[in-house]
Amino acid sequence: MEKIRIGDACDLLNGYSFKSDQYVDSGIRVIRIANVQKGYIEDNSPVFYPSDSKGLDKYMLEEEDLLISLTGNVGRVALLQKDMLPAALNQRVACLRLKTDRVTKGFLFHILNSDFFEQQCIRASNGVAQKNMSTEWLKDYEIPLYSISDQLKITGILDKTRKIIEERNKELASLDSLIKARFVEMFGDEKNQMVMSDVCSIITDGTHQPPRFKDEGIPFIFVSNITGDKVTYDAEKFIDQDTYDELIKRTPIEIGDVLLSTVGSYGHPAVVKLDKKFLFQRHIAYLKPRREIVDSDYLHGAILSPDAQEQIERGVKGIAQKTLNLSEIKKMVIPVPTMEKQKQFSSFVAQVDKSKVVA
């Protein structure tokens, strides 16, 4: 099978270091790394630069530019849509523009949007606490070179598959919205409010010192393992029993404890459901609920509630890499109703989760 280097198929554009203190209410949309999700551009909290800014010509984006994340959750790709223009490229996001007629844009998108390519990016990236992908590695990466007719056939099949997946994701998003609406309905007027530091006996984060990793052993997970507001244990890094015994003293994980992403795609909680040994990096916060005060599944829902998410948005710090600090988590305020009402909400969530499986 003939192959072609991405660097031979595309021009690669790097982004600009925009200053957050110069953001305005409207103008040139700044496409940041957090906007580039797997297969789509997330635009819930857009930021803008003044339209009359000078020196941005080489960073301006075009309709259906293919963007790729280079830091954090590396290897995510998305196509920029026309309704987001005018837009400019921020640092640590790369733009790929085809410069050959031997590759179609749709085919390139599907190849790079694959789980296989994303895993290749992760393996090729440097850094433990924060992955960073080299654009030189990206230029040298080879993709299969089918005939144009075969590329179009493959693209057509994958477009149909992608549409089915998108419709399914819309259904799941509707169910998640139902849960959030139910939370507001049940607890929007709750009088008993408590700060997070009072409802949890421990609020800390994972180890700050990268451990000595092994080829096999106990999984060591990263912030990318907090997906869909659940924990996934697929790990590329492992630690031995001695390292685990030392690090577990800081985060004594048990079923019912809550993990919370604090960097990149921050503000996503996950309840530990399995009696499984694992440890995690410092970009994951660790919350041990006081079981006599708060139910774990209720706490998960409370963190995802609109009010808590607004508190998180107000509390994040940083420019290039937004970070939710432990001090901000500790002072978050959530409603704390009776345990009976908490359990009622948790039961509702459990029923909705069953609907997700069978829908």
Please check whether residue 93 is in contact with residue 36, taking contact to mean a CB–CB distance below 8 angstroms. yes
Query: At CB < 8 A and 24+ separation, what contacts does 45-48 make?
Result: 45/313, 47/20, 47/23, 48/23, 48/24
222, 214, 256, 258: which is closest to 238 by C-alpha? 214
Sort strands 36-37 and 200-205 into parallel, antiparallel or unpaired.
unpaired
What integer pLDDT is reported at residue 320 of this predicted model? 58
Same domain as 352, residue 223 = yes
Residue 161 falls inside a structural domain: no
Residue 159 falls inside a structural domain: no
Please check whether residue 287 is in contact with residue 268, taking contact to mean a CB–CB distance below 8 angstroms. no
Please check whether residue 255 is in contact with residue 173, taking contact to mean a CB–CB distance below 8 angstroms. no
What integer pLDDT is reported at residue 43 of this predicted model? 81
Please check whether residue 50 is in contact with residue 9, taking contact to mean a CB–CB distance below 8 angstroms. no
What integer pLDDT is reported at residue 29 of this predicted model? 92
Sort strands 36-37 and 40-41 into parallel, antiparallel or unpaired.
antiparallel
- Phi and psi torsions of 336, nearest 5°: -130, 90
Residue 84 falls inside a structural domain: yes
Same domain as 236, residue 94 = no
Same domain as 337, residue 195 = yes
**Number of domains comprising the chain:** 2
Can you list the residues of the chain whose pLDDT is less than 50? none
Residue 155 falls inside a structural domain: no
What integer pLDDT is reported at residue 241 of this predicted model? 94
What integer pLDDT is reported at residue 108 of this predicted model? 94
What integer pLDDT is reported at residue 127 of this predicted model? 63
Looking at residue 20, the DSSP 8-state letter turns out to be G
Q: Write the pLDDT tens digit of every residue in 24-35.
A: 888 999 998 888
Same domain as 196, residue 129 = no
Please check whether residue 332 is in contact with residue 196, taking contact to mean a CB–CB distance below 8 angstroms. yes
Same domain as 109, residue 25 = yes
Instruction: Read off the CATH number of the domain in which 45 is found.
Output: 3.90.220.20
Same domain as 136, residue 201 = no
Residue 164 falls inside a structural domain: no
What integer pLDDT is reported at residue 319 of this predicted model? 64
* Among candidate residues 145, 162, 183, the one where a domain is terminated: 145
Mean pLDDT taken over the chain: 89
Same domain as 288, residue 187 = yes
Residue 160 falls inside a structural domain: no
Same domain as 202, residue 141 = no
Q: By residue range, what is the domain housing residue 240?
A: 170-358
Same domain as 123, residue 178 = no
Same domain as 208, residue 133 = no
Residue 51 falls inside a structural domain: yes
Residue 34 falls inside a structural domain: yes
Q: What is the CA radius of gyration of the chain?
A: 22
**Residue where the block lists tokens 């949007």:** 113
Q: What is the pTM of this model?
A: 0.66
Same domain as 252, residue 310 = yes
Measured distance CA(293)–CA(316) in Å, rounded? 27
Same domain as 85, residue 203 = no
Q: Write the pLDDT tens digit of every residue in 303-341.
A: 999 999 999 999 988 765 788 999 999 999 999 999 999
* Among candidate residues 145, 161, 196, the one where a domain is terminated: 145
